[in-house]
Chains A and B, each alone.
Chain A
Amino acid sequence: MNIQVAYRIKHRYVAFSILSPAVLSMHEIKDAIERSIIALHGTYGLSKIMPEIIQYDQEDSNGVVRCNRDQVLPLRASMANISIVNGNPVALLVLRVSGTLQALRAGLEKDRRLGNPT
């Protein structure tokens, strides 16, 4: 039986880019995001935000993380709070937030065409 639309957990997809002198693996980024959320919002906060990296390009240093729809601000704050990963300085910059992956990719493509990296 399908879950009714009203009861389905709704998500937001957050595209981000990484500034760092080191190449960081998806595992390191996932770990850094989760640690930052726990440091700022606790385990309960992590359970509410439910971050999940669903796409990551190690060479281009960008990716997409999914979270609960009403938890974008705590996720953004936690990502902005990351300044060091494995001893390397890091900045995680949120490029775009969207409700569907399709719209997110279209938006990023549009930004790229217009020469606007954000």
Chain B
Amino acid sequence: MKAIHAPPIDSRAAGGWTALLRAAVPFAAGLVFALGLGLSGMTQPAKVIGFLDVAGAWDPSLAFVMGGAVGTYFLLLRLARWRGTSLPPDDTPAAPAAARGGALRDRRLVGGAALFGVGWGLAGLCPGPAVVATVTALPGALLFAAAMVAGMLAWRFAPLLWHRLRGAAGAPGPLAPASDAPQECGSR
């Protein structure tokens, strides 16, 4: 786990308006994202299950959600490249998997996606809609979101616990040295 460190001096001194301004872009992005999820039908578990039910009364409408989202994002990226805009680093979530040797050979990427897909198919909720649905205060929505966050934290802290237990059972001495610390993935 990371050591607790004080916030950098400049952000502390800047405070107020600068911090608010810096939060404005992610806040607006989250707000528009939630409206898009709601309008598209992704926040209705029954509709998601209908989309995944290819052998039953298949509801293909959610395919247009991904089509619209990817089409828009992809075209904007193409436009920016064509105009020669300098772009932020390409920090796609699969970058660590690509660095480990490609997707098809990456058991963590494929295994994780498969587990996620099973959970998605069981409840009809994925992380974005699950967060948005908590505003309904429905017990089921809150329960799902709490379990999801617990799962995320469990994945992060399980290796730490594993190292501790193994360190305690093994020879006496310092617990897991710094270089042996569990790898943190996908954070900057």
- Is chain B a partner of chain A in the same complex? no
